[in-house]
């Protein structure tokens, strides 16, 4: 069998893995053994899978690949945040993995963010980003393509294996790419991340963050797992939003809120409004007052995000006083509002920064 025909382990679920094993003469329980080795024990070295026979391990080495990506960089911040840059092979390239120092555009980032209560994996859904938000490094080089479901699951698995990480408790699709522009792969990956035979992470602790595709949000309403939906709003009106989010030309704030209201009506799940504070642009009292009206029109809470500066982009980190004033306006109006802690600033952990640096070098 050629390298291009090898099956990616993380692309399979429990049912398809059992079928794959059965088609190769392996007993049904071999699939459970493989799932336990990879997800239960964190082992992808076939030689260590000692409860499989030598002939079974030889077959696996010939016909299956466990890690499809290559770890190109790993950085750890002083606050414990860890960021990985992964390179993915081109379709048809088999196991010919990208190499350190050679940027191809097929790189993505994932981040493990630790706190006392949780270990959060922030993962990418695309190689680059098609949205091109003016403040974000993810879309500076455009988008190379979609990640597969297996690529997405592999990111979570890799982060869980980082030294000192332990069990991943939360997953957020807030890395590179627009998750709802790759919805089929994202939802397939979530099923594996949630499954008891997989990562076993509660669906309620999995967040899909979208810049806003009303039709896709409505389709997500029918997803069988109770995930959390976050809307990357970032501006309180259409005029301001269109200056920083090109895709805002295709849908108004009112249309997005209508889709979010439908989401709440069907799922009973509150929306999280993500709002990045750009110094002197969208962080003033009048903007907060507009955001109050939006947040009170639907069942929503608000996450405020201080901007992490990106070299070459014209936006600044907001003043601390403006951030607190903004939060107080919302809270005084009864809106549940939190300021997200800035993590990993010393390793440029903001979305797309590490990939951008690799592409420039």
Tell me the helix, strand and coil percentages in the chain, rounded to 5: 40, 20, 40
- Residue 12 to residue 29: CA distance in whole angstroms: 15
- Provide the token pair at 265: 């009506």
Q: Tell me which residue has tokens 């002083």.
A: 78
Superfamily of domain 70-352: Aldolase class I (3.20.20.70)
Q: Residue 129 catalytic?
A: no
Of the residues 129, 136, 260, 351, which is catalytic? Answer: 351
List per-residue pLDDT tens for the chain, 361 residues long: 444 579 999 999 999 999 999 999 999 899 999 999 999 999 999 999 999 999 999 999 999 999 999 999 999 988 889 999 999 998 765 545 555 555 678 999 999 999 989 999 999 999 999 999 999 988 888 899 999 999 999 999 999 999 888 899 999 999 999 999 999 999 999 999 999 999 999 999 999 999 989 999 999 999 999 999 999 999 999 999 999 999 999 999 999 999 999 999 999 999 999 999 999 999 999 999 999 999 999 999 999 999 988 888 999 999 999 999 999 999 999 999 999 987 656 655 556 555 445 444 4
What does pTM read for this prediction? Answer: 0.91
Under CATH, which number does the domain 3-65 receive? 1.10.150.530
What are 128's strand-pairing partners? Answer: 143
Q: Residue 136 catalytic?
A: no
Backbone φ, ψ for residue 320 (5° rounding): -60, -35
What are 40's strand-pairing partners? Answer: none
**Among candidate residues 174, 205, 152, 132, the one with its CA nearest the CA of residue 349:** 174
Q: Residues of CATH 3.20.20.70 domain(s) within the chain?
A: 70-352
Q: Residues of CATH 1.10.150.530 domain(s) within the chain?
A: 3-65
Cβ 64 vs Cβ 5: under 8 Å: no
- How far is residue 12 from each of residues 66, 78, 242, 244, measured CA to CA in Å? 11, 36, 40, 38
- Provide the token pair at 300: 């929503």
Query: For 177, how many CA atoms within 13 A lie in the half-sphere containing its CB?
Result: 30
Of the residues 107, 109, 178, 274, which is catalytic? Answer: 109
Cβ 21 vs Cβ 3: under 8 Å: no
How is residue 222 annotated by DSSP? Answer: T
């Amino acid at each position: 069998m050629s390298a291009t025909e090898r099956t990616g382990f993380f692309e399979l679920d429990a049912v398809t893995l059992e079928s794959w094993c059965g088609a190769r003469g392996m007993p049904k329980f071999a699939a459970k053994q493989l799932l336990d080795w990879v997800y239960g024990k964190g082992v992808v070295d076939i030689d260590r899978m000692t409860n499989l026979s030598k002939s079974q391990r030889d077959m696996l080495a010939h016909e299956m690949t466990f890690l499809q990506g290559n770890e190109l960089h790993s950085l750890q911040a002083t606050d414990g945040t860890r960021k990985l840059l992964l390179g993915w092979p081109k379709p048809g390239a088999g196991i010919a993995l990208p190499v350190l120092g050679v940027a191809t555009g097929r790189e993505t980032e994932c981040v493990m963010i630790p706190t006392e209560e949780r270990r959060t994996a922030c993962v990418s859904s695309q190689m680059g980003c098609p949205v091109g938000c003016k403040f974000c490094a993810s879309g500076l080089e455009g988008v190379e393509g979609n990640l597969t479901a297996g690529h997405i699951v592999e990111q979570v698995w890799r982060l869980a294996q980082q030294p000192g990480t332990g069990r991943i408790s939360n997953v957020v699709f807030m890395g590179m790419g627009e998750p709802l522009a790759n919805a089929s792969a994202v939802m397939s990956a979530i099923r594996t991340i949630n499954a008891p035979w997989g990562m076993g992470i509660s669906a309620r602790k999995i967040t899909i963050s979208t810049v806003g595709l009303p039709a896709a949000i409505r389709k997500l309403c029918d997803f069988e797992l109770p995930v959390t939906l976050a809307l990357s709003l970032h501006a309180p009106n259409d005029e301001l939003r269109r200056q920083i989010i090109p895709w805002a030309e295709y849908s108004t704030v009112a249309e997005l809120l209508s889709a979010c209201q439908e989401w709440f009506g069907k799922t009973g799940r509150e929306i999280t409004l993500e709002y990045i504070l750009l110094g002197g642009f969208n962080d003033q009292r009048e903007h907060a007052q507009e955001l109050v009206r939006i947040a009170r029109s639907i069942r929503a809470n608000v996450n405020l995000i201080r901007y992490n500066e990106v070299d070459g982009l014209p936006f600044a980190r907001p003043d601390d006083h403006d951030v607190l004033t903004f939060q107080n306006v919302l809270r005084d109006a009864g809106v549940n509002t939190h300021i997200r802690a800035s993590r990993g600033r010393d390793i440029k952990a903001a979305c797309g920064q590490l990939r951008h640096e690799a592409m420039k070098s």
